[in-house]
Chains A and B, each alone.
Chain A
Amino acid sequence: MTKQQSFYETPSPPGLRGIWAWLLTRDHKRLALMYLWAILLWFSLAMVLGLLMRIELMWPGRTIMGPETYNAMFTLHGVIMIFLVVIPAIPAVFGNFFLPIQIGADDVFFPRLNLLSWYLYMLGGVFAIISLFSGKGFPDTGWTFYVPFSVSTNTNVSLTVSAAFILGMSSMLTGLNFITTVHRMRAKGMGWMQIPLFTWSLYATAWVQLLATPVIGITLILVILERLLSIGLFEPDKGGDPLLYQHLFWLYSHPAVYIMILPGMGVVSEIIPIFSRKSIFGYKAIVYSSLAIAIAGSLVWAHHMFTSGISDVSIFVFSLLTYLVAIPSAVKVFSWISTMYKGSIQMTPPLFLALAFIYLFSVGGLTGLLLGAAGTNVYVHDTQFVVSHFHFTMFGGTGFAFFAALHFWWPKMFGVMYNMKRAYIASILITIGFIFHFIPMMILGLMGMPRRYFDYLPQYATGNFLAGFGAFIIVAGVALMFTNLLLSFRVRQEAPADPWGGTTLEWTIPSPPPLHNFIATPEVKDFPYDFRQVSDHYNTMNPKEQE
């Protein structure tokens, strides 16, 4: 392939030079990168907060902070990680960059709206930061903002809730953009069953974003109104119902779990066939399971409320529905494993991270069944077990998928290769650290240690020390991973257009892509994962050759 001018090198229009070429850009690729740097910044901040909490818990009693600070820490850690990192990470960065390319388009359908989404995202982040240093301190409610505490506490809940509201707007507009883009901008000849699985997962996610996010927006406004006007919507004395808040909150926030995980599953569905040199097993099953997860996942919210006083009939129905989500999730896992079966597997950092995803997410999913069953749920509710479970799905799932996507698409986004050996070491460190961190937490939860406590009984000391030790390993691994990726800009080992032997459209264009993505009309294959035409070079290449 001849050398083409990349989107970095293409001169911007007059009046849009320097920083303005980025701040006023409507190019989906530039916006994706702007999201990337912002998200990495937030992730690093929230990770440090998490580490500080773990240091506090490494030894019984007060270690480095008191209970109020600890409460603010876990709230801030949760709010940043959920609203500013995990929800937007994969769709905003890799979705923005690769969705249009995978369907053969030159941009998203609403480029200006895309820019607005980024500004809303940043504004939400700024509001969250301001709420730290204004009013009476950062909220101590946890990221769930449960009433009546969130209405009665003197801390700065209103501003943080406003931040979450603005971030919801950003997420919704991105979803709207993706749905419209997929419907209206697919290349000629790309029917629904020719769409790559990553784009399919983003499409299913976008529907959940669009339908469920307004609910949290309205709910958060109700919290603000309650704080300002004391209407009594959630107060029994005034005819309100505190459980109504929990219903409304989880109506969004449980589907939000699938907003977080579905794009990660899409990433893994791209990585597994490429490094197995084998067509994806069950393409249609994976597509339909994405849609099934999106639909079924929207019907299970009250499993967060089994101990809150909802009716027994509701508990029975929501427990049953929760179990249903396991079916499409399992369809995906079995399809990935079947793809690898008898494949010509080639280990790379993206594949390693994708495999870690499958393992960790499976543990997260299976422990979810324990929580979905009403009986065991009552036993472990609000314990460290729950915290461990959702970190297995959110970090072990989405986090690892994000890291896998970073390593998978980094050469395409920046046109440079990173050091493979360091990438492996970092990935292994994070995986080991993760297990050290969250397995003890799971055991602590089963032993009865509650969540959101800054101190504990002596019998929990060993588990908490081990978890803290694991946290240090994770941070070391993440630091090495980010350093390694950033060092690739310095070493500048040029990446070819198709470093892995991929079959979807992004691998047919130069690395990094040109401004309008495609120089010639993209040629759409009948099946996006047809490896028959991939060069034999990739099938025989050993890992050392890739370095």
Chain B
Amino acid sequence: MKQEERPEPDDPHVMGYGKLFAIIAALLVLTCITVAVSYVNLGFYNVPIALLIATAKSSLVLLFFMHMKYEGTAIKVSFLSTIAFLCIMISFTFWDVAFR
């Protein structure tokens, strides 16, 4: 395996104000949708839809505000492994409760 590519340490990934405001706007819109959806009874889909919107919002924060979109493979893999660990932790624990 070759040595991984190392990004320039001085590259700060500066984003324009326009892009940042667009993301804030998107987050605000998604928050409004969350609130709006909470007034509609969708039965079983209440929770999945709320989670879906929350996931979209956190993805925007992670990708742009936390610069994940611009990071190298190592950081992306690190992040994904924390998510995988969390999933395993929660699912295995809940699984025990479900079969008790």
Chain A interface residues toward B at CB < 8 A: 179, 183-184, 186, 188-193, 207, 211-212, 215, 241, 243-244, 247-248, 251, 298-299, 302, 309-314, 317
Q: Which residue of A lies closest to B1 (CB)?
A: A192
Q: Is the CB of A310 within 8 A of B96?
A: yes
Q: Is the CB of A191 within 8 A of B99?
A: no
A311-B89 in contact given A191-B2, A193-B1 (Cβ < 8 Å): no
In whole Å, how far is A443's beta carbon from the nearest beta carbon of chain B? 33
Which are the 6 A-B pairs with shortest beta-carbon distances? A311-B99, A313-B99, A314-B96, A192-B1, A311-B100, A211-B85
Is B93 at the interface (CB under 8 A from chain A)?
yes
Is B50 at the interface (CB under 8 A from chain A)?
no
Q: Is the CB of A298 within 8 A of B99?
A: no
Q: Which residue of A lies closest to B84 (CB)?
A: A211
In whole Å, how far is B95's beta carbon from the nearest beta carbon of chain A? 7
The number of chain B residues touching the other chain, given as a range, is: 20 to 34
A298 to B89, CA, bound (A): 9
For B96, list chain A residues within 8 Å (CB): 243, 247, 302, 310-311, 313-314
In whole Å, how far is B74's beta carbon from the nearest beta carbon of chain A? 5
A311 to B97, CA, bound (A): 7
In whole Å, how far is A312's beta carbon from the nearest beta carbon of chain B? 7
In whole Å, how far is A536's beta carbon from the nearest beta carbon of chain B? 33
Q: Which residue of B lies closest to A180 (CB)?
A: B74
Contact residues of B: prevailing secondary structure: helix
CB contact list, B1-47 vs A, under 8 A: 1-4, 6
In whole Å, how far is B99's beta carbon from the nearest beta carbon of chain A? 4
A312-B3 in contact given A207-B81, A215-B89 (Cβ < 8 Å): no
In whole Å, how far is B69's beta carbon from the nearest beta carbon of chain A? 19
Q: Which residue of A lies closest to B93 (CB)?
A: A247
Q: Which residue of A lies closest to B75 (CB)?
A: A183
A302 to B89, CA, bound (A): 11
In whole Å, how far is A465's beta carbon from the nearest beta carbon of chain B? 42
For B92, list chain A residues within 8 Å (CB): 299, 302, 314
Q: Which residue of B lies closest to A182 (CB)?
A: B74
Q: Which residue of B lies closest to A189 (CB)?
A: B3
A302 to B96, CA, bound (A): 9
Q: Is the CB of B6 within 8 A of A299?
A: no
Is B88 at the interface (CB under 8 A from chain A)?
yes
Q: Is the CB of A298 within 8 A of B85?
A: yes
A211 to B82, CA, bound (A): 6
Q: Which residue of A lies closest to B73 (CB)?
A: A183
A314 to B88, CA, bound (A): 13
Q: Which residue of A lies closest to B3 (CB)?
A: A191
Q: Is the CB of B1 within 8 A of A313?
A: no
A251-B1 in contact given A211-B81, A312-B99 (Cβ < 8 Å): no
Q: Which residue of A lies closest to B4 (CB)?
A: A183
Q: Is the CB of A310 within 8 A of B4?
A: no
